[in-house]
Amino acid sequence: MKKLFLLGIILFLPIKIEASKSFIDGVIYLSKYLSSKEYIELRTKIGDIAITDSLFVKAKKFYDGDNSEALLALTFSLLPFNNMAVKLPYIGLTLNIPLPNAGDTLYYAKLKHQPRYLLFDSPKNNGGDIDKLAHYFANAFLSYNIGFFNLSKFMGIFVEYFEAVFKVQGSIDKKDLIVNHLGEWFGKNLKKNDRLLPSSGLSIYQLIYMKIKL
């Protein structure tokens, strides 16, 4: 799983604190929705790609139309882990860094129902591509908020290399880089079209994947 891409958000961009609804309020709200009967039944009916639109609409409505707050809360709500275990090179020291979440009960409840079959080549097992939506929304958040020298793409590539060096993942994941690009595309175009939904970016994965392969 990918555990360090969020450091770019935490280190480079401040989280708004003046909003009436806080960042953690959104994480809790979305975690409750992810474990609700309404969500579970809708996911079964429309599938994992389409359900991402429901998640975004819920988050955006919670934050009164604020796309930035919605994307950030979604990123943390969809993490498939609640701490980072980072093994430092050479000295062999492992650091366990807790991440913002809605508490153990909600965390494990929502984890069971997170979207994970998002791509045409998602593994057909219990894990699927459960980590990809957090990658997607994190890069969308960066792209939506930062316009200079394409920092969102830089952060996506940089973190993949960083993870390999610091033994979080162990190797560079090409699929992550593609999903990062899709998230960047969504964030950039969301600034132009406020009605854009996240499934629009995920749906072109196969085309981008084939282009890169060629």
Which residues partner with 98 through β-bridges?
Answer: 83
pLDDT (mean) for 30-44:
96
pLDDT (mean) for 167-176:
59
Phi, psi of 98, rounded to the nearest 5 degrees = -70, 145
Burial of 90 (0-12, 13-18, 19+ CB in 10 A): exposed
**CB neighbourhood size of 122 (10 A):** 18
Q: How many CA atoms lie within 13 A of 97 on its CB side?
A: 13
Which of 25-29, 32-36, 148-152, 200-204 is least confident?
A: 148-152
Phi, psi of 196, rounded to the nearest 5 degrees = -65, 140
The DSSP output letter for 149 is: G
**Cα distance between the two ends of the chain:** 27
DSSP SS3 for 193: coil
> In this model, does residue 41 exceed pLDDT 90?
yes
pLDDT (mean) for 112-129:
92
Which residues partner with 96 through β-bridges?
Answer: 85
Structure-block tokens of residue 155:
């952060």
Rounded Cα gap, residues 127 and 179, in angstroms = 17
Q: Pick the residue with more confidence: 35 or 160?
A: 35
Q: Computed from CA positions of residues 4, 182, 143, 133, in that sequence, does the dihedral angle turn out positive or negative?
A: negative
Residue 136 banded pLDDT, cuts 50, 70, 90: very high
Which residues partner with 84 through β-bridges?
Answer: 97
> In this model, does residue 87 exceed pLDDT 50?
yes
Q: What's the mean per-residue pLDDT of the chain?
A: 78
**Would you state the pLDDT for residue 81?**
76
Q: Which residue has the tokens 């593994």?
A: 123
Which of 28-37, 50-59, 90-99, 191-200 is least confident?
A: 90-99
Q: Pick the residue with more confidence: 10 or 114?
A: 114
Structure-block tokens of residue 77:
């709500």
